[in-house]
Chains A and B, each alone.
Chain A
Amino acid sequence: MDRGDLLTAMKQCVLDGDVEEAARLAELSLRQGVPPIDSVEKGYVQGINEVGRLFEAGDLFLPELVASADAMKAALEVLKPWMEKAETGRKVIGRIVIGTVKGDIHDIGKSIVASILVANGFDVLDLGVDVSPAAFVEKASEFGADLVGLSALLTTTMPVQREVIKALREAGLRDRVKVLVGGAPVTGRWASEIGADGYAEDAIRAVSVVRGVLGLP
């Protein structure tokens, strides 16, 4: 496969949401000596941009967007170890740690938000569900997070969002880590009451809120 075909195939596998193919092509590109940064920028990212356009136009739906994000992620996992420091200058526009708070096992909403953020070029670390305030602090620090996303689906676990913000403050991280809250019972009023930086009612809105909070265009 010549380089042009390979890059086109990379774009296509993201459009198709084909995780296996995305990883396979990434390995192939390494064997063929394609610079990883080229594979990302000229291949996979082209696909994710096209997916974004089609989604906005209403021609693609959320499950397809998530599959494309997964394909993108699979390719990046293969390529990352091979990318030189300089090359990781790949446009990482923000580093985000996300999870559902302690006592709450609701998973899918938070996972959708994580996928959509990945699809939009953010580096996302998904901590899963039932995550303690201490774990949020530790991982945010390790990952060098610009923003922490806190999900809660129960009125009884919403207060944990406040605890995480408090824990971030006590660890001295709050000045450089923004906080976004979400989940069915969460409202904009609740977000300001607990001192969060932002709130979005659904995954698509979350992207623009994150951009706003991080001061991105």
Chain B
Amino acid sequence: MAGKRRIRPISPRLRIEILTKEDIMKIHEASLEVMRDVGVRFPSRKALEILGDAGAVVDPSTMVAKLPPDLVTKALASAPPSYTLAARNPEDNIILDGTSCWLSTDGCGIETYDLETGAKRLSTKKDIQDSARLADYLDDIAFYWGPMVSAQDIPAEVRPLHELQAAFLGTSKHVQPETIITEKMAEYCVELAAIIVGGKENLQSRPVFSVMQCSADPLGEDAGSIEASLVAAKYGIPTGFMPMPMSCGTAPATLAGNLVVTTVDSLAPIVLLQIAYPGCPVFFAAAPTVIDLHTGGYTGGSPEDYLLGGAFNQICDFYNIPLSMGAMATGAKLPDWQAGVDNSLSTLMPVLTCTDMLTGAGMLNGSKILSFPEIIMDCEIFSIVRKVAEGIRVDSETLAVDVIKKVGVGGNFLAEKHTRKFLREIWRPTVFDRTPYSVWEESGGKGALDKAVEMARSILAKHQPLPIDPVTMKEMDRVVRAAERELLGR
């Protein structure tokens, strides 16, 4: 692998606009109004102190900070529009500069469809390392987000640290955990990553992990997440907050209203981080959706999601800060028709508005069940969307008038030099089934899913990521042991 640029983003030429400039301004102004008049709950004394000192109106009893528009605007101005997410292998670094969409894995699941038996079971630390290895192999996956599932065979107190370690072991690509939700755990994770880059002071120039946090919609943040994010920001580790407002539940029923809540909940913590550490790398994140009208549950895929996904990216472009958009979060229980429809459309829309990070591939049942073949099939969707988003280039060479004249009436283009030059631009499937019927029948009716299962098995049987040297490994283990001593008392 070394020496070859192996991660493939999408650099879309095709663009759509879901919102007009006037729409974006209206949502921006509504968000400022809500932050000024209602405020956002930051249940952390540390955060409230920072905000209060900067001019926010803080109510210590409710822990709500009202953010004046000037404060918000000024804070956002110091956020960098572009930066690098570094990787353990520098060849896997990715640059968030608004020109490319980078796909990650999905994450935060609790169960796994076992790759050998197919049975659903509780997720383990090994699932993290295995899914990271698969992600490491696949060109379409730019970084490992999550972890994909919770390491439920590890005590809860030290679980996030084990998860980060397993991810680092499984892939040399960038890692973006979403489970570091206490100040203490953030310090340990910084220590773990510092070993890889040769010291904490190097994390700023080489952040081998970034941090995503959840917002507590509507108009709130979680105490531990806020304090963990302040630790990350201190070391220059990119940080973002992901609201998932659900229309009718934690957001208004209307999509415009949902976008206001999404904007406030993603933006308010960025304001805090910019006040605390001006210029620290931050990103927007979001997975806005609607409730299931009958059960009130999370849906993981609906036409509203596709619209919200594209629209929120336009809003983030207005603020000129990178965005991570939730996509491919299908509610389907199996890698089936529903999963294909959901994940195609939820990928297409944010890609056509050029979101920076797409999160991500490989989960079912509304991001609750890890499926190894689904990772591969979602990559196939990403590659289809890539081809579509690249659009059609029209120039003298692609118009091909010379070769049309040469072949003339009734000929064919098979052996033409022009064909050989451009045929590799035509999309080719990895798991899509295009076999002749008889071949398909003789194979026992195997389709895309069977092919993906075989591929996943074969990759995991062979592929090893760039190894971590034994000295570094030992140092990483030492940090994990220290955390266990402190947090588990053993």
A residues at B contact (CB < 8 Å): 58, 61-63, 105, 108-109, 112, 155-156, 159, 184-185, 202-204
Contact with A along B231-272 (1 / 0, CB 8 A): 000000000000000101110010000000000000000000
B159, B216, B222: which contacts A156 (Cβ < 8 A)?
B159
Distance in angstroms from B63 CB to nearest chain A CB is 12
Q: Of all chain B residues, which has the CB nearest A185?
A: B110
B110, B156, B295, B298: which contacts A62 (Cβ < 8 A)?
B295
Distance in angstroms from A156 CB to nearest chain B CB is 4
* B294, A62: Cβ atoms closer than 8 Å: yes
CB neighbours of A62 from chain B (8 A): 248, 291-296
* A108, B250: Cβ atoms closer than 8 Å: yes
CB neighbours of A204 from chain B (8 A): 294-295
* A155, B294: Cβ atoms closer than 8 Å: no
Q: Of all chain A residues, which has the CB nearest B156?
A: A156
- Whole-angstrom distance between the alpha carbons of A185 and B246 in the complex? 19
* A159, B156: Cβ atoms closer than 8 Å: yes
- Whole-angstrom distance between the alpha carbons of A112 and B294 in the complex? 11
CB neighbours of A108 from chain B (8 A): 246, 249-250, 296
Distance in angstroms from A199 CB to nearest chain B CB is 14
B110, B296, B298, B368: which contacts A112 (Cβ < 8 A)?
B296
Q: List 8 A-B contacts (CB under 8 A).
A: A62-B248, A62-B294, A62-B296, A105-B216, A108-B246, A108-B250, A109-B296, A156-B159
A159, A185, A202: which contacts B297 (Cβ < 8 A)?
A202
Distance in angstroms from A14 CB to nearest chain B CB is 19
- Whole-angstrom distance between the alpha carbons of A117 and B267 in the complex? 36
* A155, B156: Cβ atoms closer than 8 Å: yes
B172 beta carbon closer than 8 Å to chain A: no
Distance in angstroms from A149 CB to nearest chain B CB is 15
* A61, B156: Cβ atoms closer than 8 Å: no
CB neighbours of A202 from chain B (8 A): 295-297
- Whole-angstrom distance between the alpha carbons of A112 and B246 in the complex? 14
- Whole-angstrom distance between the alpha carbons of A184 and B296 in the complex? 12
- Whole-angstrom distance between the alpha carbons of A58 and B253 in the complex? 18
CB neighbours of A203 from chain B (8 A): 295-296
* B293, A184: Cβ atoms closer than 8 Å: no
Distance in angstroms from A192 CB to nearest chain B CB is 14
Secondary structure of the B contact surface, majority rule: loop
CB neighbours of B176 from chain A (8 A): none
Q: Of all chain A residues, which has the CB nearest B291?
A: A62
- Total A-B contacts with CB atoms under 8 angstroms apart: 44
* B150, A155: Cβ atoms closer than 8 Å: yes
Q: Which of B156, B249, B294, B296 has the most CB of A within 10 A?
A: B296
Contact with A along B271-311 (1 / 0, CB 8 A): 00000000000000000000111111110000000000000
- Whole-angstrom distance between the alpha carbons of A161 and B135 in the complex? 34
B73 beta carbon closer than 8 Å to chain A: no
CB neighbours of B293 from chain A (8 A): 61-63
CB neighbours of A109 from chain B (8 A): 296
Q: Of all chain B residues, which has the CB nearest A129?
A: B216
B residues at A contact (CB < 8 Å): 110, 150, 152, 156, 159, 216, 222, 246, 248-250, 253, 291-298, 368
- Whole-angstrom distance between the alpha carbons of A202 and B299 in the complex? 12
Q: Of all chain A residues, which has the CB nearest B179?
A: A156
- Whole-angstrom distance between the alpha carbons of A110 and B28 in the complex? 32
Distance in angstroms from A57 CB to nearest chain B CB is 12
**Apart from A185-B110, A204-B295, what 17 extra A-B contacts exist at CB < 8 Å?**
A61-B293, A61-B294, A62-B248, A62-B292, A62-B294, A62-B295, A63-B249, A63-B293, A105-B216, A108-B250, A108-B296, A109-B296, A156-B159, A184-B298, A185-B150, A185-B368, A203-B296
CB neighbours of B291 from chain A (8 A): 62-63
Distance in angstroms from A181 CB to nearest chain B CB is 14
CB neighbours of B253 from chain A (8 A): 63
**A-B pairs, 7 with minimum CB distance:** A61-B293, A156-B156, A202-B295, A155-B150, A185-B110, A112-B296, A62-B296
CB neighbours of A58 from chain B (8 A): 294
Distance in angstroms from A7 CB to nearest chain B CB is 30
- Whole-angstrom distance between the alpha carbons of A105 and B223 in the complex? 10
CB neighbours of B368 from chain A (8 A): 184-185
Q: Of all chain B residues, which has the CB nearest A116?
A: B296
- Whole-angstrom distance between the alpha carbons of A184 and B294 in the complex? 17
CB neighbours of B294 from chain A (8 A): 58, 61-62, 204
CB neighbours of A156 from chain B (8 A): 156, 159
CB neighbours of B248 from chain A (8 A): 62-63
CB neighbours of B150 from chain A (8 A): 155, 185
Distance in angstroms from B370 CB to nearest chain A CB is 13
Q: Of all chain A residues, which has the CB nearest B249?
A: A108
- Whole-angstrom distance between the alpha carbons of A202 and B295 in the complex? 6
CB neighbours of B156 from chain A (8 A): 155-156, 159
* B296, A155: Cβ atoms closer than 8 Å: no
CB neighbours of B110 from chain A (8 A): 155, 184-185
- Whole-angstrom distance between the alpha carbons of A202 and B222 in the complex? 24
CB neighbours of B249 from chain A (8 A): 63, 108
- Whole-angstrom distance between the alpha carbons of A156 and B156 in the complex? 5
CB neighbours of B250 from chain A (8 A): 108
- Whole-angstrom distance between the alpha carbons of A62 and B295 in the complex? 6
- Whole-angstrom distance between the alpha carbons of A109 and B291 in the complex? 11
Q: Of all chain B residues, which has the CB nearest A115?
A: B296
Distance in angstroms from A204 CB to nearest chain B CB is 6
- Whole-angstrom distance between the alpha carbons of A105 and B214 in the complex? 11
CB neighbours of A155 from chain B (8 A): 110, 150, 152, 156, 159
Q: Which of A109, A155, A156, A202 has the most CB of B within 10 A?
A: A155
Distance in angstroms from A174 CB to nearest chain B CB is 24
Distance in angstroms from B270 CB to nearest chain A CB is 20
CB neighbours of B295 from chain A (8 A): 62, 202-204
Distance in angstroms from B178 CB to nearest chain A CB is 11
Q: Of all chain A residues, which has the CB nearest B218?
A: A108
Distance in angstroms from B179 CB to nearest chain A CB is 8
Distance in angstroms from A153 CB to nearest chain B CB is 10
Distance in angstroms from B449 CB to nearest chain A CB is 25
- Whole-angstrom distance between the alpha carbons of A184 and B368 in the complex? 8
- Whole-angstrom distance between the alpha carbons of A180 and B222 in the complex? 26
Q: Of all chain B residues, which has the CB nearest A205?
A: B295
* A105, B296: Cβ atoms closer than 8 Å: no
CB neighbours of B216 from chain A (8 A): 105
CB neighbours of B152 from chain A (8 A): 155
- Whole-angstrom distance between the alpha carbons of A69 and B6 in the complex? 56
- Whole-angstrom distance between the alpha carbons of A203 and B249 in the complex? 14
